[in-house]
Amino acid sequence: MAEADHLFKNQILEVTGLLHMSDPFELDTAISGIAAEDFDKFTEDMTANLVGEAKNRALSFLRARKADLSMKAESHAI
């Protein structure tokens, strides 16, 4: 993972208070393992304790991270 990517992830997780997991790499592993059809439920569960702008930022981050990880997985599969 790129250093900037790692720093951004730590920053957004600190700001939103989202992390149920202490390690950002653990979050990537969880996100990568969630099937697309289950991802909305996963994001709602992960952000259940957030409201307003913090929830919106966290949801946006999780969706963007899922898209990025999916794209990376597809490029490695080719």
> How far from the centroid of its chain's Cα atoms is residue 65's Cα?
5
Amino acid found at 33: G
Asked if the structure places residue 32 within a domain, the reply is yes
Tell me the per-residue pLDDT of 18-75, one tens digit each, with 9 for 90 and over: 555 556 677 788 888 888 888 888 888 878 877 888 788 888 888 888 898 888 888 8
Please give the residue range of the domain that contains residue 32. 3-14+25-77
Q: Is residue 50 part of a domain?
A: yes
Q: Is residue 35 part of a domain?
A: yes
Cα separation of 54 and 73, whole Å?
28
Residue 20 lies in a domain: no
Cα torsion 49, 54, 60, 21: sign: negative
pTM for this one? Answer: 0.65
Specify if 68 maps to a domain: yes
Asked whether 13 and 24 are in contact (CB, 8 A), the reply is yes
- Are the beta carbons of 15 and 57 closer than 8 angstroms? yes
Residue 44 domain-assigned (yes or no)? yes
The residue behind tokens 């930022």 is 57
- pLDDT, tens only, 9-21: 666 666 555 555 5
- How many independent structural domains does the chain possess? 1
